[in-house]
Amino acid sequence: MIVCVCNNVSDRKIRQAADEGMTTLADLRKHLDVGTCCGKCHSCAKQVLRECRETK
């Protein structure tokens, strides 16, 4: 599923980034450009990060 349409970032990419140690939206923004355009994906991106934390 695409989380950030503006920058074409999927939930899979976010999960991968979380596995590599990115834990915050700021990290995702810096490394994957998530949420740097319209910002509509913020809550969804945070949700994916939360799920990653919970399944660890």
Check binding of 43 to ligand FES (CB under 6 A). no
Longest Cα–Cα distance of the chain, Å, equals 30
Contact segment (CB under 6 A) with ligand FES among 16-24, 33-41, 48-56 equals: 33-41
In the bound complex, what is the minimum distance in angstroms from residue 39's beta carbon to ligand FES? Answer: 5
Beta bridge partners of 4: 9
| Mutual angle of helices 11-19 and 42-54, in 10-degree steps | 50
Q: Is the dihedral of CA 16, 51, 47, 21 positive or negative?
A: negative
Q: Which is nearer to ligand FES, 3 or 56 (CB)?
A: 3
Residue from 14, 41, 48, 52 that binds ligand FES (CB under 6 A)? 41
